[in-house]
Chains A and B, each alone.
Chain A
Amino acid sequence: EIVLTQSPGTLSLSPGERATLSCRASQSVSSSYLAWYQQKPGQAPRLLIYGASSRATGIPDRFSGSGSGTDFTLTISRLEPEDFAVYYCQQYGSSPVYTFGQGTKLEIK
């Protein structure tokens, strides 16, 4: 079973700053099957990035994804107030099984 480890657990930044969130897999993951989600309090998660680097419909271009193999990154180029939330990475593997990381909380500094 592939384990996804996200870091940091909490990231404290100010609006306008750049955010870099990491997702590391315990073994190699197909880039086609690595995604990122944003979740705000009391809401369901929202798909941000699929295929490691493709933005979902309606997602602003300040969000970008990159990486391959075991290391993946979500970057928010310039933080807006509405970007402060919890972010999860997710992979799909054989079996089939969906696995989520434990999340990174992006909070206002």
Chain B
Amino acid sequence: QLQLQESGPGLVKPSETLSLTCTVSGGSISSSSYYWGWIRQPPGKGLEWIGSIYYSGSTYYNPSLKSRVTISVDTSKNQFSLKLSSVTAADTAVYYCARLAKVFMVVDYWGQGTLVTVSS
């Protein structure tokens, strides 16, 4: 059974960089059938796709966040990571890592999510 687990600080100061890692178990991140991505959800609000990465390292970002986002992959550790720079309170959200199936471009597996609060 595939599992995704987010890890990283739950509190980040304004103007600093948010860093999260997703560890994938029960499956290989090097599968050609999937992308791996990050999606966030501010408290009480809807879902926002942040970006995705292929095992080869090709990346795709939400245009609204592109200038601040970097997603990377480490196939040797079966992990992928998110960096979001210059954070503000508006970046406070539950951050989910996810597997995105190429066939229908849907999120078929989600991590449990991790709340990241931006506050001084």
Q: Mark B45-77, 1 if CB is under 8 A from A, else 0.
A: 011110010000000101100000000000000
Bound state CA distance, A50 and B108, in angstroms? 10
B interface, over-half SS: strand
A101 to B48, CA, bound (A): 9
Residue B96 interfacial (CB < 8 Å): yes
Query: Does A45 lie within 8 Å of B107, measured CB to CB?
Result: yes
Output the least CB separation between B3 and chain A (Å): 12
Which of B49, B63, B106 gathers most chain A CB within 10 Å?
B106
Asked whether B106 lies within 8 Å of A35 as measured between CB atoms, the reply is yes
Stretch at the interface among B19-27, B78-86, B109-117: B109-117
Q: Is the CB of B105 within 8 A of A44?
A: no
8 A Cβ contacts from A76-109 to B: 88, 90, 92, 95-103
Residues of B within 8 A of A19 (CB): none
Q: Chain A residues near B105: list those with CB within 8 A.
A: 33, 92, 96, 98
Q: Is A100's CB under 8 angstroms from B111's CB?
A: no
Contacts of A90 in B (CB 8 A): 47, 106-107
State the Cβ distance, B49 to closest chain A Cβ, in Å: 4
Hey, what's the 0/1 contact readout for A48-70 against B, CB within 8 Å counting as 1? 00110010100000000000000
Taking a contact as CB atoms under 8 Å apart, the answer to whether A44 and B60 are in contact is: no
Given A33-B104, A45-B110, does the pair A88, B62 have CB atoms closer than 8 Å? no
Q: List 11 A-B contacts (CB under 8 A).
A: A45-B47, A45-B110, A50-B104, A50-B106, A97-B49, A98-B37, A98-B39, A98-B49, A100-B46, A103-B46, A103-B47
A interface, CB within 8 angstroms of B: 1, 32-33, 35, 37, 44-47, 50-51, 54, 56, 88, 90, 92, 95-103
